[in-house]
Amino acid sequence: MSTFSALLLKRMKLAEECADDDDAKISISELRKAVLEELKMHNSFVQEWGSDLAKESSVNSATVKYTEFLLATASGKVEGVKGPGKLATPFEKTKVAAYTLGAMTPCMRLYAYLGKELEALLDLHEGSHPYRKWIENYSSEGFQASAVQTEDLLDKLSVSLTGEELDIIEKLYHQAMKLEIDFFSAQPVVQPTVVPLTKEHNPAEDRLMLFSDFDLTCTVVDSSAILAEIAIVTAPKSDQIQPENKLARMSSADLRNTWGLLSRQYTEEFEECIESIMPPEKVDKFKYEDLRKALEQLSDFEKRANDRVIESGVLKGLNHEDIKRAGERLILQDGCTTFFQKVVKNVNLNANVHVLSYCWCGDLIRSAFSSEPRFVNSWYDMA
């Protein structure tokens, strides 16, 4: 058992002693036993996976911050509260117990939530899923009941507290939840596991397909109107005579008006389309068929919008070099190019990258990545 685990159990014992209600003492004692069982389960995982935590793992800063916060709170080191050695009255002890539960409850609630979410996404009965026991434990009715029991106990311990003391518990709860989320976010995702809870990626057999949005994901600005702006800037003036040997183009004024009408129509119909495909009420379970139908509706809408642009002729006669120069001037998000370079140059990953955009032009996208033009295959379609 780790030093932290031993200290945490000791602090839970202190919280049990601080509670002035027999039912609360019993509840905290049951939670302490549940923590012991959870630690045994984690140890069994380590043995099953053949890991040696003493040699293979190091504690990251997010873990340290969270554990130090829990231990400090359980020790009574909370602003406005006396230390555990100076607790004079049962009421002061109850406050420490309430503060301790306030800092622990988010952990229980988050694990219970994640357990249920992952259970709904994965079929744990097919094959030997490496995280099956972990997910089954935290999605089980027993663990869900423990999370509710912890919340009920926190409510019970808080009944006699003042408004100011309840504010302290609220702050402790929010701080604990933030530290828990930071803890999960800090965990490294190391290959060959692409998504830790799906399946291992075998580069020798599997080709990793990585798709990325272009506008406002890769780029700092939206590129959707860039082609139209190039067309407007390079178009002839209304009173300018066009050479007979060149493709007839709309005047810049007519182009601007036409593009404005197309843009407004697109925006209005897009909002109507999204409203029509959104479910009328909250969805409790993911349904693939519903998602497929919604995407088909969105695709049909985008195709109709494409047809209107083609029929309008607003992009007719664009100069290829103008498009490339515009792409080269696009500002990409910090780290975007480096990320794609690392993915594609990693031969052990066996990855294929596709960038999607509705800006109509693959050359615009390729020129934006002109420093490494070979590493991005642009799939560009408004659908």
Contacts of 132 (CB under 8 A, 6+ apart): 124
CB of 236 closer than 8 Å to CB of 327: no
Residue 354 phi/psi, 5-degree rounding, is: -130, 130
Catalytic, 107? Answer: yes
Catalytic-role residue among 16, 18, 107, 165: 107
- Strand, helix or coil for residue 69: helix
Half-sphere exposure at residue 248, Cβ-oriented, CA atoms within 13 angstroms: 1
Non-local (6+) Cβ contacts of 238 within 8 A are 251, 252, 253, 254
Q: Is there a contact between 251 and 237 (Cβ–Cβ < 8 Å)?
A: yes
Question: Is 92 an annotated catalytic residue?
Answer: no
**CA 68, CA 176: separation in Å to the nearest integer?**
11
The packing angle between helices 22-48 and 132-139, to 10°, is 170
Structure tokens at 164: 């100011």
Distance of alpha carbon 182 from alpha carbon 14, whole angstroms: 27
Write down the catalytic residue from 16, 18, 165, 180. 180
Run of H or E including 136: helix 132-139
DSSP annotation of 282 reads -
Active site residues: 107, 180
